[in-house]
Amino acid sequence: MQQYIMRRLLYSIPVMLVVSLLVSVLIRLQPGDVVMAMMAEAGNINPALLDKIRHELGLDQPFHVQYVTWMFNFLTGNPGQSYWSGKPITELWASAIPITIELSLLALLIGLIVAIPVGILTAVRRDSWVDHIGRLFAISGLSMPDFWIGTLVLLFMGLWFHWIPKITYVGLFDDPVSNLQQFIVPAVVLGFRLSATTMRLTRSTMLEVLREDYIRTAWAKGLQERAVVARHALKNALIPVITVAGTQLRFLLGGSLVIEVIFGLPGMGRLTYDAIIQRDYGLVQADIMFLAFLAVMLNLLVDLSYGWFDPRIRYS
């Protein structure tokens, strides 16, 4: 088991290197100069100021120097400053990350609570009307763009319930009720798509498990349906589902961007989006790196948990 963990950990390192290189190269692919783009956004280009700022930001160094310096700073906890506002990025992150985490966790919870029972039910009652409705739900969740669902929900919440998203964010610990009110609608929208994929997967793994011989034995023994499903089938069917739920977290990181923008939640996704629009490349670079690293870490955790759940993996 330890070997497995070590192997997975070591494997992640080159991946993160690749990620960091990709991000750095991407930012520098900008036609023209980063600083010039920023000044053009601001409205006036002052050549003397350009060189000064370039030097300040270290942009006149060759690429490999910039890359190494930046990576070193990033890894030692100093991702730099936002070009736009001048604030240290860690400060921006400190306020944005909890929001995204809360949104993602709520969405994951809601998604799983809906998806797993529906998945089980549609598998057990295969080809009944329950099955058809469940599958319709899943397919629509996969096909409908999340920004459309978000926009429509916002629209109809406003029209029918006169509900508008609050402008200012209220912390979870300051005022739980108000906070949950603010988060519940975006979390449901985000969780909807997640629940569609998870429901399909639960259904298919459940179907496979229900075909196994030991399930047939259980039926033959005369066990009630509830016992067969809950005691024998469920655990084995859920293993792939749990691993997929883990990988869905990565999707949540991306999906939260659109939802945060639509519902006005100042999380990491919104921060990155604003940074991209404002051409704030220092922040963009740090944000993307952070989110990608987070995704790699999550994948690692999922792989490790897979090894823990399924003993066959551990000893391979």
Q: What residue ranges bind another protein (CB under 8 A)?
A: 14-19, 22, 26-27, 29-31, 139-140, 142-148, 151-152, 154-156, 158-159, 200-201, 203-204, 207-208, 250-251, 253-255, 257-258, 261-262, 272-273, 276-277, 279, 284, 288, 291-293, 295-296, 299
Please identify, using beta-carbon distances, which residue of 172 and 234 lies nearer to another protein. 234
Which residue from 285, 263, 238 is spatially nearest to 117, judged by alpha carbons?
238
Min dist CB 15 to another protein, Å, is 5
Min dist CB 4 to another protein, Å, is 17
Which residue from 243, 250, 247 is spatially nearest to 313, judged by alpha carbons?
243
Please identify, using beta-carbon distances, which residue of 179 and 246 lies nearer to another protein. 246
Min dist CB 198 to another protein, Å, is 12
Please identify, using beta-carbon distances, which residue of 17 and 230 lies nearer to another protein. 17
Among the residues of the chain, which ranges form H helices? 2-28, 34-42, 47-56, 63-75, 89-124, 129-143, 146-161, 176-210, 213-221, 225-227, 234-263, 268-277, 281-309, 311-314
Please identify, using beta-carbon distances, which residue of 15 and 130 lies nearer to another protein. 15
Residues in the chain: 316
Please identify, using beta-carbon distances, which residue of 26 and 301 lies nearer to another protein. 26
Min dist CB 144 to another protein, Å, is 5
Please identify, using beta-carbon distances, which residue of 109 and 164 lies nearer to another protein. 164
Min dist CB 48 to another protein, Å, is 26
Min dist CB 246 to another protein, Å, is 14
What residues form DSSP beta bridges with 148? none
Please identify, using beta-carbon distances, which residue of 15 and 242 lies nearer to another protein. 15
Handedness of CA 31, 37, 43, 45 (dihedral sign): negative
Please identify, using beta-carbon distances, which residue of 16 and 242 lies nearer to another protein. 16
CA 294 from chain center: how many Å? Answer: 9
| Contacts of 164 by beta carbon, 8 Å cutoff, 6+ apart | 158
Min dist CB 282 to another protein, Å, is 14
CA end-to-end span of the chain: 10
> Strand, coil or helix: what is 88?
strand
Please identify, using beta-carbon distances, which residue of 179 and 189 lies nearer to another protein. 189
Min dist CB 97 to another protein, Å, is 15
State both tokens at 255.
Answer: 């999906």
Handedness of CA 277, 280, 282, 283 (dihedral sign): negative
Handedness of CA 152, 157, 162, 166 (dihedral sign): negative
Give the CA count within 13 Å in the CB-facing half-sphere of 141: 22
Cα distance between residue 73 and residue 130, in whole Å: 55
Min dist CB 171 to another protein, Å, is 25
